[in-house]
Structure 1
Amino acid sequence: MTAVEVAVRERAALGEGPTWDSREQRLIWVDILGSRIHTYDPAGGRRTVMVTEQHVGAAKPRAGGGLVVNLRDGVAVYDGIDGFRWLHREIVPGRRGNDAAVAPDGALWFGTMRYDEAPGGGSLSRLAPDGTARTVLDSVAVSNGTGWSPDGRLMYYIDSPTRRLDVFDVGEDGLPLNRRQLAVMDEGFPDGLTVDAEGCVWVALWDGGAVRRYTPEGNLDRVVELPVQRPTACAFGGADLTDLYITTARTGLEAPHPLSGSVLVVPGAGKGLPQPLFAG
């Protein structure tokens, strides 16, 4: 039986986006509706919390220092030199930033969604290191997990209401081609994802109370049952990238589990991949 432990006991409304920062040896995660960026050092137990300007969908380490963040009105940087500055601003009433990921080439892929989750109200865009932004997928409902195979030749993507895990080929320009279905979830809704060193895709199931692992062929080969109803995303971390961290939510639940909103961890769950830094 897989051992699930509590890494950070918290009451986050919508915990999301765990990312392992290898430079600082810490976990970064956000509470979207709480407008907070959290960090956690598992070796020393140190935690920090930063309040953001707006609802924050994701926060990722940046090669030049600080964090790149996907906010309600666009993408910005928090760093120790300039403090806060926008990289790409696109104000759409009723819409906010959601999950984001850094590609092997250092570009940031950032998703959006409407607060009412209306179909077609969201998008997935790419912010290149030179600051050029391009919408790659429009007519998305809830843009969520995005990740790449170990060799960078495949891109995985989730639009949660579809209940699908999709896969693309990656072209020479870094853009996705040939979208196709890899797997369909029969319980809950797929949310955030991470790809391990074997090329398998781990998917957190919102309202499914579990994390599932799918092979590159789309076969379900492992299920980690959780004590909470709404896991949101997962990422490998720790010094050897073998611990699976899982963020969770309590928003919308009439009687949330006492651990809803906390960060859970499955020690020794597998072997993760080092996460690229945003190069912009």
Structure 2
Amino acid sequence: MSIDVAVREGAALGEGPTWDTAAGRLIWVDILNSRVHTYDPADGRRTVMATEQHVGAAKPRAGGGLVVNLRDGIGLYGTDGAFSWLVRDPVPGRRGNDAAVAPDGALWAGTMRYDEAAGGGSLSRVAPDGAVTEVFGDVAVSNGTGWSPDGSLMYYIDSPTRRIDVCRMTGERVVERRPFATVERGAGFPDGLTVDAAGCVWVALWDGAQVRRYTPDGRLDHTLELPVRRPTACAFGGPGLRDLYITTARTGLDRPHPLSGSLLVVPDAGEGMASTAFGG
């Protein structure tokens, strides 16, 4: 598979690529520079929006605008750019990190401490009306979250564990959690993930310079070698949802690769699933 550059950028911590089906564009964030980026592959058009706080994730809303996972909680941007808080819950030393929208339109939002201390983060379900239910506590670095094509399974990563876990779902509840795959020591840490239309799980490896694909039974069947050391997450987008977009980071690197911080793309890598917009 060939690896191309979609957007050459010097993002400190690029993260959270999401295909906005309604707008035909990719949304991604630069967490530490407090920026939300969009990219339209049809014409190359880009936008950059500043947020007032570090932004862990930005996802499209069903009625237009964005829902964002910020340092102090969950915020909403309207189609006119106006901001409001949906959930405000500031905790000193903690920020929002990766997030994903479930098939029912709820946001599953992760948090972590800036020092990445064990137990300092969590994963919570945020309903469209702002009701919050903690799903997992005692998390260090809450990261990749995604669902199987039929919605019966959820995949989840707490990066320092080196595991991708799989959770059996009953409606909106997790009823069982078990290891799905483990990344061996020396190969990096699992970060963001996406699930394709065949139920395979694609995982970016921070400090591993790879994106890996695991079959639904947890078998590693494909590895994408990347020129950058710190890929952070991946998502399918573009025509037919066949192009794999990969966000990357340059933070913490003494000698980052020239493409570190850019948005990469692997054309015709597979077939993704249309993402659900946040219902609020």
The TM-score range, normalised by the shorter chain, is over 0.9
Give the aligned partner of residue 255 of structure 1: 255
**Cα distance per residue 1:206-227 (max 9 Å; x no partner):** 0000000001110000000000
Give the aligned partner of residue 180 of structure 2: 182
**Cα distance per residue 1:4-42 (max 9 Å; x no partner):** 000000000000000000111000000000000000000
Residue 58 of structure 1 deviates from its aligned partner by 0.2
Aligned-partner residue type, residue 45 of structure 1: G
Residue 202 of structure 1 deviates from its aligned partner by 0.1
- In structure 2, how many angstroms separate the alpha carbons of the residues matched to 1:130 and 1:58? 19
Residue aligned with 1:38, SS: strand
**Cα distance per residue 1:32-78 (max 9 Å; x no partner):** 00000000000101000000010000000000210000000000001
Aligned-partner residue type, residue 120 of structure 1: G
Residue 82 of structure 1 deviates from its aligned partner by 7.1
Give the aligned partner of residue 47 of structure 2: 48
Give the aligned partner of residue 154 of structure 1: 153
Residue 176 of structure 1 deviates from its aligned partner by 1.1
Q: 1:262 to 1:82 in 2, by over 3 A?
A: closer
Structure 1 runs (4+) greater than 4 angstroms displaced: none
**C-alpha contact 2:65 2:81 (8 A) present in aligned 1:** no
- TM-score by length of structure 2 reads 0.98
Aligned residues: 278
Give the aligned partner of residue 265 of structure 1: 265
Give the aligned partner of residue 222 of structure 1: 222
Q: Percent identity?
A: 73
Map 1:60-99 onto structure 2 (within 5 A). Answer: 60-81=59-80, 83-99=82-98
- In structure 2, how many angstroms separate the alpha carbons of the residues matched to 1:130 and 1:71? 17
Residue 188 of structure 1 deviates from its aligned partner by 0.2
- In structure 2, how many angstroms separate the alpha carbons of the residues matched to 1:59 and 1:193? 15
- In structure 2, how many angstroms separate the alpha carbons of the residues matched to 1:59 and 1:131? 16
- In structure 1, how many angstroms separate the alpha carbons of the residues matched to 2:138 and 2:73? 18
For structure 2, the 5+ residue unaligned runs are none
Residue aligned with 2:240, SS: coil
- In structure 1, how many angstroms separate the alpha carbons of the residues matched to 2:26 and 2:80? 22
Residue aligned with 1:240, SS: helix
Residue 177 of structure 1 deviates from its aligned partner by 1.6
- In structure 1, how many angstroms separate the alpha carbons of the residues matched to 2:122 and 2:22? 30
Give the aligned partner of residue 207 of structure 1: 207
Map 1:109-120 onto structure 2 (within 5 A). Answer: 109-120=108-119
**Cα distance per residue 1:237-266 (max 9 Å; x no partner):** 002100000000000000000000000000
Does residue 46 of structure 2 align to residue 58 of structure 1?
no
- In structure 2, how many angstroms separate the alpha carbons of the residues matched to 1:175 and 1:259? 40
- In structure 2, how many angstroms separate the alpha carbons of the residues matched to 1:31 and 1:81? 22
For structure 1, the 5+ residue unaligned runs are none
- In structure 1, how many angstroms separate the alpha carbons of the residues matched to 2:68 and 2:87? 11
Mean Cα deviation higher: 127-136 or 47-56: 127-136
Aligned-partner residue type, residue 14 of structure 1: L
- TM-score by length of structure 1 reads 0.98
